[in-house]
Amino acid sequence: MGKKEYGKNNEKRGKNNENEIAEVFQSQLKGIGIDLKINVLECGAFIDLAAKGETGMYITGWGNATGDTDYNQYNLYHSSSLGAPGNYAFYENPEVDRLIEAGRTEKDVEKRKQIYEKAQEIKVKDAVHIPYRGVENLAAISKNVQGVWISPSGLLQLYDTSIVQ
């Protein structure tokens, strides 16, 4: 394999420990003859490039604001969400589109789960993303603070928070 350079538009947005993770990727890719240039961008600049498909490789985060599978599936993988809505990989697969659409309308929880499992299997084969969990939330709360919790999607929930004297 000849030495290749991937780097002109391999962007990464700087937050959390992503710089270190990018350096690990860089080191591992170098081991197979790929020179990866790391470009740390301000969030808005990254989104502008990603929305236009001008990133060859990127590290970013995505949370599930609703807790429902559809939020991630449709925004990240449906062909109608290319670019700014979230499908920065510009991934298009008609079968995945069909499954996501079926999952959106299926009311039976078990059938819906099976539909999304099929879509997930296809996306894993297509290697759309390499997911990693890089952030864990930690909340230290005084004994007199009540009602704070972390949702399954990792968001700190403060809606019912109160301070007891």
pLDDT in tens, 131-165: 776 666 667 778 899 998 887 767 788 888 999 98
Q: Read off the amino acid at residue 58.
A: Y
Confidence band, pLDDT 50/70/90 cuts, at residue 7 = very low
Residues 108-122: tens digit of each pLDDT: 999 999 999 999 999
For the chain, give the mean pLDDT: 83
Enumerate the domain spans of the chain: 1-61, 63-134, 136-165
Is 69 in contact with 103 (CB distance < 8 Å)?
yes
Quote the pLDDT of residue 64. 78
Joined together, the tokens standing for residue 33 give 């003859």
Task: Name the pairing type of β-strands 156-157 and 149-150.
Answer: antiparallel
CA-based diameter of the chain, in Å? 68
